[in-house]
Structure 1
Amino acid sequence: MALLALGINHKTASVDVREKVSFAPEQMEAALIQASSFANVGEVAILSTCNRTELYCSAEQAGSRQLLEWMGEYHGLEVKDLEACSYCHWDEAAVRHIMRVACGLDSLVLGEPQILGQLKSSYAVAQAANSVRAELGQVFQYAFSVAKQVRTQTAIGENPVSVAYAAVSLAQHIFADLSESRALLIGAGETVDLVARHLKQAGIRELVVANRTLARAQALAEQFDAKAVLLADIPEALEKADIVISSTAAPLPILGKGMVERALKKRKHRPMFMVDIAVPRDIEPEVEELSDVYLYSVDDLREVIEENVKSRETAAREAEALIDQGVIQFMEQMRSRGAVDTLRALRAKAEQTRDQELAKALKQLSKGQDPEKVLAHLARGLTNKFIHSPSVQMKKASAEGRQELLTLTRELFELPPGNTPDEPR
C-alpha cells in the first residue's frame, strides 16, 4: 500500500465548507473505525482543525476515491463539491505534506506551533482506535522529529504570530487602550488560552471566560486573574463585553443575532468587537448585520496575519530545506526497509540449501568416505545450487533483451564488466 494525504484546508475551501466537513472530538473514534473498514485502506488518522480536515492513510490508489465518497456521505455532502476543493498527495508528496503541516508551513499563520500539538493529538486518537500501526506510525514519528528540528534550528517560532495573536492585534486597532476594555472569551481550549495570554500582556482591564464546564473555565481563569462562568451566563456577561472572542467545538452557534441585539440595547449601542475563531462557527453570521458590531471570522484575520508573517519568511525557507532533507532521509529508510523481506527470504533459501548439502556430506562421512572428496563435493554442490536460479533467470533475461538485469547482477555481486552486451550466455 502507498501513503496518502487527502483533505481540504483554508487555501482550497471557505469556512462555510470547512465547517461542514469538520469532525467533532466525540465523533473521531467512530469515524476512524468507519474509514478503516474499506478494503483499499490499511491505516488512517484524521486531523480536523478550524483550518483543515485531512485524512492520512496507507491505501491503494482506489482508496482516495472511496474516502472522498465516505466523507461526502458522512457529512451529507455531494462528492463533486468535495472534489472541487480537495487535494490528494501520494507517497513522497504525502510525507512532505505531513511534515509541512507539522512544522506549521501549511498553516494560515506561517509557523504557528499549535498545529503540531493538534497533529500529535490526532495520532494519539488514531492509536487508541487501532487505526494506525507501523507504516503510518513511522511517518508521524519522523514528522514530529523534523518539526522539532525546525523549531530548534530556525527562527520560525520567534515573534508571536498566531490566530490568537492576530485577533488581539485587530482588537488593539479598534480599541486604542485595552486597559479600558472588558473581554469575554468563550471556550477554554488552547486557542482561548493564547488569546487570554495576549490580552493580558496588552493590559486588558477585565477578562471573563465562559465554558460548557465550569471547572475548565475556572482552571483557565485562575491563570489570568479572570472570572469563570458557564455558557448559560453569557447573556449577562455579553452586555458588559467590549471584546468577544470565541473558539469552541460546539456543533451549533452559541451566539445568535437576537442575543447580541439585546446585549447592544443594554450597552446603549456601545460598539462590540467580535472574533469567531471556531469551525463550525460559534457566532451566527447574521450578527454582522448589526450596526454596532465588528464581527470577524478566521478568514477575515488573513490580512493581519499576512503582515506579521513577513518576519518568518526567511526562517520558512530554512525550514523547507530541513524538510527536504527529512523527506529524502525518510524515503531512503522506507526503501531500505523494503529490502528486508527480500533479504530475509534470500537468507532462508541459502540456509535451507546449506543444511541440505551439509546433511548429505555428513551422511557420506558417516559411511567412511574420503573427507577431502566429501568436502570437494559439498563445495561444488553449494556453488551449483546457489548459482542455478540466477543463471536460469539471467539467460532468460538476456534472451528477452533485458540487459538492465544483467547490469544490476554485475553491480550486486561486484563482477567485472562483461565483454559483450549479451553476456552471460
Structure 2
Amino acid sequence: MALVTLGINHRTAPVELRERIAFTPERMEEAFAELRVASGASEAAILSTCNRTELYLAGDDDCAPLVLRWLAGFHNLDAGELEEAVYVHRDADAVRHVMRVAAGLDSMVLGEPQIFGQLKDAYALARKYGASGSFLSRMFEQTFSVAKRVRTQTAIGENPVSVAYAAVSMAHHIFSDLSRNRALLIGAGKTIELVAQHLSEAGVKDFVVANRTLERAQSLAEAYGGKGIVLSEIPDYLADVDIIISSTASPLPILGKGAVERTLKKRKHRPYFMVDIAVPRDIEPEVASLADVYLYTVDDLRQVIEENIRSREGAAREAENLVTDGVQAFLNQLRALDAVSTLKQFRQRAETLRDAETEKALRALRNGGDPETVLRSLARGLTNKLLHEPSVQVRKATTEGRTEVTEWLRELHQLDTQEADAATTPEKL
C-alpha cells in the first residue's frame, strides 16, 4: 500500500494562497466524494486549518500528480499556481510528516497543541464519509499515540506560545494596560477560546463574543464574564471595543472596510487592534489601510512566535526522537501484517497440497492398495510437492548471484551450516 501526503503550509505559501485552497465544512462531503475518484486512492483524509491544507491518501499507486490537478480544479485554480507551494511526502516520509504535524513540530508555533485536535477532527471526518480504511486508521492511531507521548514525556507544551497567545502578546504593543480595553472575539472555536483565556490572564475583563450560533457565543462569553451575540449584531458593538480577534470557518469576510470606516468616525482616533487568525480571512484586507487601525494576519504573528519558541527547542529534539521511534514502530507493524498475510497464503497452499495427496492416498486404500506402500507414497509425494517450487526458486536465485536466498533458507529451517557445507563437499578417495 502506497501512502502519499500532499499539501501546503505557512512555510510554503502565503495566507493569500492558503485561504484559496482551504476546505470549508460545507464542501467536505463533496470533496471526499470527488477526491477518491479523481486520485484513484482507496483511502483519504483531509486536514484544513489556517496554517495548512493537507491530503493524506493510501492506494496502490503514487497518485500525487492526479491529486494536485484535482486540488487546483476543486478550488478553481491553475495547477501551475500550486506547484511551487506544494510539498509531497511518500510512504515512511509521509508517516514521519503526519506524526511531526500532530506533535506540533511542523507548526508555526513549535509544539502548539491545537493541531493535535484538528488532526483528530480530520480523521473523524474521513471516517464519517467512509474515506478512511484500515491503513489510514492504523496510521492515525499510531500518530495520536506518538503525539500523546510527546506531550507527556517532553516539555514542548509547557510555555504558552500558541497563535492565540502570540495574538494577545501583540496587543501589548498597542495598549499598555489591557484591563482598560474591551475585546470583541469573532468565532467560538478552540482558537478563540484560547484567545479569551489569554486575554483574561492579561487583564481584559470586558468581552463580547460573536458567533453564528448564539448559544455557543453565550457559553464562551459567560465563562469570562462577557456577553454573547450573533454575527449580525457586530456593527452595534464595534464602536465600544478596542481589541478585535477573529477566527471562524466562514468562506467570506465577516468584517468589512465600510463598517470599520463608519465606526472610526465615532471613536475620535482611539486605535483598533485587530488580529485575523482565520483562513480564509474574516476581516477584509483593505481595513489595514484605515488610520488608527492595526490589523495583523496569522502570518504577521511569525516574529512574535519565533521569539517564544526558543525555550522549546531542547524539548523539540526529544520529540523528534519519539517521532522517529513512532515511525519505526508503525513500519514494523506493517511488516508484521504483511508477514501474516504471506504466512496465511503459504499455509493455504500447503494445506491444498496436503488435501490433494491425502485424497489420492485414500483412493488407493479404497482400491485395495497396501497400506504401508500407500503411506510411504503419500509422504514422498507430499514432500516432493512442498519442496519442488522452493527448490527451483533457490537454484534460480543462486544462479543469478542472489546468494542471500540460500542464507534465508538455512535460517528459516534452522539448517546447520557445517552440515550443509559437508553435503556439497566431495568425499576424499
TM-score over 0.5 (shorter chain): yes
**Aligned AA (1:234):** I
The structural deviation recorded for 1:341 is 2.2
**Aligned AA (2:250):** A
Asked whether the 8 Å contact 1:187–1:247 carries over to 2, the reply is yes
- Give me the whole-angstrom Cα distance separating, in 2, the residues matched to 1:12 and 1:261: 34
Give 2:223's aligned residue. 223
Give 1:90's aligned residue. 90
1:18-417 equivalences under 5 Å are 18-38=18-38, 40-366=40-366, 370-417=370-417
Once structures 1 and 2 are overlaid, which stretch shifts more, 202-211 or 332-341?
332-341
The structural deviation recorded for 1:193 is 0.7
Equivalent pairs counted in the alignment come to 422
- Give me the whole-angstrom Cα distance separating, in 2, the residues matched to 1:39 and 1:15: 26
The structural deviation recorded for 1:39 is 5.7
Asked whether the 8 Å contact 1:40–1:62 carries over to 2, the reply is no
The structural deviation recorded for 1:393 is 2.0
Gaps of 5+ in 1: none
**Aligned AA (1:158):** E
- Give me the whole-angstrom Cα distance separating, in 2, the residues matched to 1:226 and 1:61: 53
- Give me the whole-angstrom Cα distance separating, in 2, the residues matched to 1:61 and 1:83: 20
Q: Deviations over 1:63-121 (max 9, x none)?
A: 10011001111111111111100000000000000101111111111111111111111
Asked whether the 8 Å contact 2:166–2:304 carries over to 1, the reply is yes
The structural deviation recorded for 1:395 is 2.6
Asked whether the 8 Å contact 2:39–2:67 carries over to 1, the reply is no
Secondary structure in structure 1 of the residue aligned to 2:42: strand
- Give me the whole-angstrom Cα distance separating, in 2, the residues matched to 1:367 and 1:18: 79
**Aligned AA (2:220):** L
Asked whether the 8 Å contact 2:39–2:66 carries over to 1, the reply is no
TM-score, with structure 1 as normaliser: 0.95
- Give me the whole-angstrom Cα distance separating, in 1, the residues matched to 2:293 and 2:200: 23
The structural deviation recorded for 1:215 is 1.6
The structural deviation recorded for 1:291 is 1.9
Once structures 1 and 2 are overlaid, which stretch shifts more, 81-90 or 400-409?
400-409
Gaps of 5+ in 2: none
Secondary structure in structure 2 of the residue aligned to 1:295: strand
CA RMSD of aligned residues (A): 1.8
**Aligned AA (1:144):** F
Secondary structure in structure 2 of the residue aligned to 1:131: coil
Asked whether the 8 Å contact 1:29–1:126 carries over to 2, the reply is no
Structure 1 residues 259, 144: closer, same or farther in 2, change over 3 A? same
Once structures 1 and 2 are overlaid, which stretch shifts more, 411-420 or 301-310?
411-420
- Give me the whole-angstrom Cα distance separating, in 2, the residues matched to 1:322 and 1:62: 28
Secondary structure in structure 2 of the residue aligned to 1:361: helix
Structure 1 residues 357, 341: closer, same or farther in 2, change over 3 A? same
Structure 1 residues 59, 354: closer, same or farther in 2, change over 3 A? closer
- Give me the whole-angstrom Cα distance separating, in 2, the residues matched to 1:393 and 1:16: 58
Structure 1 residues 8, 207: closer, same or farther in 2, change over 3 A? same
TM-score, with structure 2 as normaliser: 0.94
**Aligned AA (1:214):** L
The structural deviation recorded for 1:61 is 4.4
